[in-house]
Amino acid sequence: MGLKPSYKPLEITLIKRDRTKTDLKRDLKISPATLAKMSKGENVALSVIMSICEYLDCPIEEVVEFIPTEQNHQQ
């Protein structure tokens, strides 16, 4: 069993801070491709996550969490 990122905490933090993903794109110059990766639960660069944490003045736990995947890699 592996782990994959979930950005649900970011959605909650954005609502609490009265911000949107459009704000992130505009203010932090985050590319639409990176936002799409986040929407799909894919990995993004730690530097992007760090920028979001600084921008929202929050710990990393309020941006991303890791959830178990259903994949089984038995050999």
Mean per-residue pLDDT of the chain? 92
Which of 1.10.260.40, 2.30.33.40, 3.40.50.800, 3.60.9.10 would CATH assign to domain 3-64?
Answer: 1.10.260.40
Hey, how many other C-beta atoms are within 10 angstroms of the C-beta on 30? Answer: 19
- Report helix, strand or coil for 23: helix
Per-residue pLDDT for 74 more than 80? no
Q: Which residue has the tokens 């993004």?
A: 44
Confidence of residue 33 (pLDDT cuts 50, 70, 90): very high
Per-residue pLDDT for 6 more than 50? yes
The pTM for the full model equals 0.87
Query: What whole-number distance in Å separates Cα of residue 39 and Cα of residue 36?
Result: 5
Domain map (residue ranges) of the chain: 3-64
Per-residue pLDDT for 22 more than 90? yes
Query: What whole-number distance in Å separates Cα of residue 38 and Cα of residue 5?
Result: 8
Per-residue pLDDT for 73 more than 60? no
pLDDT at residue 30, as a whole number:
96
